Amino acid sequence: MAENVPDNYIPKYAQQDEWEDKELQKFAIEFYRISDIAEENERWVQSFTEDAKIQIGADKARGTKEITDFRTRMWKHINNRKHTVLKVFPGRFPDSEDSEVMLLGEVSVTTNDGRLKEAAWSAHAVVKKVDGAWKFKEYRVWLQTDGHLL
């Protein structure tokens, strides 16, 4: 390491974590599938721990009640949604038992008034096992559009 470098310039590096656990891979795939189905509210909310933090764009929620309301808001102006997950960058840090992941993808939505909108997105997630099932502990998404998604 370089000498006399302040700690804020020295990042933590993830250990290789290929998500060899097939259940974790299945969880991630299923999450985006049910994200695109408006009627899957309960299963989508159950993808998060009871105290999970979530943020998509500027909208935030914490805990099951707020996440349930968050999910309802997600579909307020949307008729149809389709995610495409392009890349997954998993990792694990030495000071944590949780797995982390960065994802890159695209989403297209059809609004209730028939407009088609598309955006590239990236996400960071922390996942952990709860009672034998994988869940998001933290989930944050950044959207890149030519304007607003809605």
CB 133 within 8 A of CB 45: no
Question: What is the maximum alpha-carbon separation in the chain?
Answer: 59
Q: What is the pLDDT of residues 109-126, one digit of tens each?
A: 999 999 999 999 999 999
Closest-CA residue to 137 (of 70, 73, 39, 63): 63
- Name 36's Cβ contacts closer than 8 Å, sequence gap at least 6: 80, 81, 82, 83
pLDDT at 1: 53
In order, the DSSP letters of 42-68 are HHHHTTEEEEEEEEETTEEEEHHHHHH
- Name 8's Cβ contacts closer than 8 Å, sequence gap at least 6: none
Element of type H or E holding 100: strand 99-111
Domains defined along the chain, listed by start: 19-144 (3.10.450.50)
pLDDT at 3: 75
Q: What is the pLDDT of residues 20-46, one digit of tens each?
A: 667 888 898 899 999 999 999 999 999
Give the count of beta carbons closer than 10 Å to the beta carbon of residue 62.
Answer: 15
Whole-model pTM: value is 0.85
